[in-house]
Amino acid sequence: MAKKIEHWSTERLIPYEKNSRTHSEEQVGQISQSIVEFGFLNPILVDTNDGIIAGHGRLQAAKELDLKEVPVVVLDHLTEKQRRAYIIVDNKLALNAGWDQDVLSSEIAELNEADFNISLLGFTEAEIDGLLEEPWDSDIDAMDKIEAKDSEVKASIKISCNEWDKEQIREAITNTIDQLGLENVDVS
């Protein structure tokens, strides 16, 4: 287990040549903006030979900001195989996480109301707009006019979602109705 954070020159750090994680200019810019707003809060993980294990994007951002030193944590307990594997697992495990959309929407709305620059959160403008919009409510009487042999069949579906998902849901419902060959169905 790492015991302390050290500060190393950005020139000392050696990127891993087989790093499979990529960082676009836009994403490096987002990391830079985060460092400016919050500080350099997530140290770069390095091995004892000055090689980067995790933090290639943070190093690029630090260089973009012309920082001469960055915080690092030396991981000297990993074998060569573990080091190579951790370079992958560190990135992949973060991608496996999800979002609680209701909590996320609420947090972003509260930050927005508090005049925080929510563009720093890493979401696109369209994603933020979708998260800040009021849920879309629709009653769908999809089977209202279908005649059954012995009885009248009716169904009503109410869907609540934000604008972000609205068109995809509408398209999926319309496609399903078409596939089933249903007629006189109101999708509103």
The DSSP code sequence of 103-134 is HHHHHHHHHHHTT--GGGGS--HHHHHHHHSP
Q: 130 pLDDT exceeds 60?
A: yes
- For residue 182, what pLDDT is reported? 75
Angle 81-98-16 (CA atoms, 0-180°, nearest 5)?
A: 30
Q: 54 pLDDT exceeds 90?
A: yes
Q: 92 pLDDT exceeds 60?
A: yes
Q: Give rounded-to-5 percent helix, strand, coil for the chain.
A: 45, 15, 40
- For residue 179, what pLDDT is reported? 81
Which domains can be identified in the chain, with CATH numbers?
6-95 (3.90.1530.10), 98-132 (no CATH), 134-188 (no CATH)
Mean local confidence (pLDDT), 42-59: 95
pLDDT: which is higher, 127 or 6: 6
Confidence of residue 63 (pLDDT cuts 50, 70, 90): very high
pLDDT digits (tens, 9 = 90+) for 28-41: 999 999 999 999 99
At 121, give phi and psi (nearest 5°).
-80, -10
With the CA atoms of 28, 32, 38 and 44 taken in that order, what torsion angle do they form, in degrees rounded to the nearest 10?
A: 60
pLDDT digits (tens, 9 = 90+) for 145-180: 444 444 444 556 667 666 667 777 878 888 887 787
Confidence of residue 67 (pLDDT cuts 50, 70, 90): very high
pLDDT: which is higher, 110 or 152: 110
- For residue 135, what pLDDT is reported? 59
- For residue 160, what pLDDT is reported? 66
- For residue 166, what pLDDT is reported? 74
Work out the end-to-end distance of the chain between its first and last CA atoms, rounded to an integer number of angstroms: 57
Confidence of residue 51 (pLDDT cuts 50, 70, 90): very high
Give the range with max mean pLDDT: 64-73, 121-130, 141-150, 169-178. 64-73
Mean pLDDT across the chain, nearest whole number?
Answer: 85
Q: Give the chain's radius of gyration (CA, Å).
A: 25
116: left (phi over 0), alpha (psi -120 to 50) or beta: beta
